[in-house]
Amino acid sequence: MARTLYQWFADSAARHGDAVALEAAGDRLTYAELDELAGRIAAAVRDPGPRIGLRADRTVLAYASYLAIQRLGRTVVPLNPAAPRARNETIAASAGLGEVLAAPAPADGTARGPQDPGGLAYILFTSGSTGVPKGVPLRHSSVDAYLSYVIPRYELGPGCRVSQTFDLTFDLSVFDMFATWGSGATLVVPLKYDLLKPVSFVTRHELTHWFSVPSVVSVAARTRRLPADSMPSLRWSLFCGEPLTLQQADAWRAAAPVSVLENLYGPTELTISCTQYRLPARRADWPETANGTVPIGLPYPHVEHTIADGELCLKGVQRFPGYLDPADDEGRFAGEWYRTGDRVAWENGLMVHHGRLDQQVKISGHRVELGEIEAALRGQPGVSEAVVLALPGADGELVLEAACTGTDLEPVVLLKGVGETLPRYMVPRAVTVLSELPLNGNGKVDRRALRDMHLQRLP
């Protein structure tokens, strides 16, 4: 029978109560201590409706509160404390939250609710092309199938020390927390600046498992903070959230030569990750792909796949039940198949990711709909039209550039207005005000012409 997220944690707490479960901001809690704290927080919840919001920062109370919500048998909805208030209010209204936990004062005693493996474990909100975030609900049974597969694959267990690089509003954080806690390992939480210096963080805390977006590699390499043989403790290095280039993989392998390096892929709708490719131990055996990225490999054994007109479609136990707003389901399903919108191609028996079919891009690992940013720009006073482009920056990472038409427009004012409704990673680097947008022969906005114009200005 499938287990809930809390049951995965509780089973480890029962077997490894004295082992360290969490290290964050100088605090260390054993499994027994973390379980006791989660129980006291659960007892303090005043109105345990079916869905509870969580202020998702990197404090011990945030992690314990996540567990408290799961312990109550409720669905957790993480809210980004750095996001604009209006965005979080929209998410709270869409999810129908009864309460939001934010640094709660633990009560005396403990509380525990019924565990339903078929119920919803969490709801995450991703960027939506209509300008409204899309709610993606995931079942416990889907996460259970995922954990049952990845924990033994990555040899997780007592004594392992695992990074927690992803924000709790990011689905990959569920691996960080529950692959760790489901195995009796220790979760080690970095501060924001630690991600700029991964080698220092890994060596200082003697990490055995690393999981992050590939852009962390680029930042460290660009600042010369990724020297060879500098991370001898790492046994496993996992990357997901955006394409991993062979150049990035080379840089990381040189710094962690004894670590197994694996590239993962998976939309939020397919529960964290659902395909894998493990780079061979010998560099000479690495595949050379047409676009210079590491293959996303093959789907997990319990995930079915097909490629229809170049688009990857997936189904199986890890597939979500449908968006929170059924209107968002339109065009995303073909029977039981979920249409990912990702273009893939077979190269030497492996799947290679070749970008999106729509306007969706990955910015620092976050899934971003360019249409949502365009909608936010059109909502600013005086704006008539808006186009947002994702362009390669100087270091190869994508940057956002925008072009607008309208009256009395000031780029600084426009960016400030967008920043009041969208997360920081969705705010364009710059806005160019034009008298009119260029059109192609079909009368549509000529995005290629805009792209060429902006590329000429990029450093």
The predicted model scores a pTM of: 0.86
pLDDT tens digit string along 79-136? 999 889 989 999 999 999 978 887 667 888 888 999 999 999 999 998 766 667 899 9
E strand spans, 66-193: 75-79, 99-101, 120-126, 134-139, 161-163, 186-189
Element (H, E) at 400: strand 398-406
Among the ranges 46-60, 148-162, 286-300, 437-451, which has the highest mean pLDDT value? 148-162
Are residues 66 and 166 in contact, defined by beta-carbon separation less than 8 angstroms?
no
pLDDT digits (tens, 9 = 90+) for 153-191: 999 999 999 999 999 999 999 999 999 999 999 999 998
The matching CATH number, chosen from 3.30.300.30, 3.20.20.70, 3.20.20.120, 3.30.1360.10, for 360-457 is 3.30.300.30
Tens of pLDDT, residues 231-248:
999 999 999 988 888 988
**Confidence class of residue 385 from pLDDT cuts 50, 70 and 90?**
confident
Q: Which two tokens stand for residue 292?
A: 């210079």
The predicted structure's pLDDT at residue 362: 87
Provide CATH code, domain 5-352: 3.40.50.12780
Task: Give domain limits for the chain.
Answer: 5-352, 360-457
Strands 398-406 and 430-433: parallel
Determine the pLDDT at residue 129: 60
> Above pLDDT 90, what percent of the chain?
70
